[in-house]
Amino acid sequence: MSGPLWCKADLPGPSGGSIYNARVLDAWRELGTDVEEAAVGGSWPAPDHGAERELARRLKQCRSALVDGIIASAAPDALAEAQAEGSKYRFWCTCPSRLKQD
- Segments forming the whole domain that contains residue 28: 5-92
Per-residue confidence in pLDDT tens, the chain, 102 aa: 456 777 777 777 777 777 888 888 889 899 998 888 888 888 888 999 999 999 999 898 887 888 888 888 899 999 999 999 988 888 877 665 555 555
Cβ neighbours, 10 Å, residue 13: 12
Q: What is the count of structural domains for the chain?
A: 1
Q: Residues 6 or more apart from 63 whose CB is under 8 A from it?
A: 1, 4, 87, 88
State the sign of the Cα–Cα–Cα–Cα dihedral 37, 63, 24, 10.
positive
pLDDT for the residue numbered 100: 58
List the CATH number of the domain containing 77.
Answer: 3.40.50
pLDDT for the residue numbered 56: 92
Q: Let me know if residue 99 belongs to a domain.
A: no
Residue 67 parent element (H or E):
strand 64-68
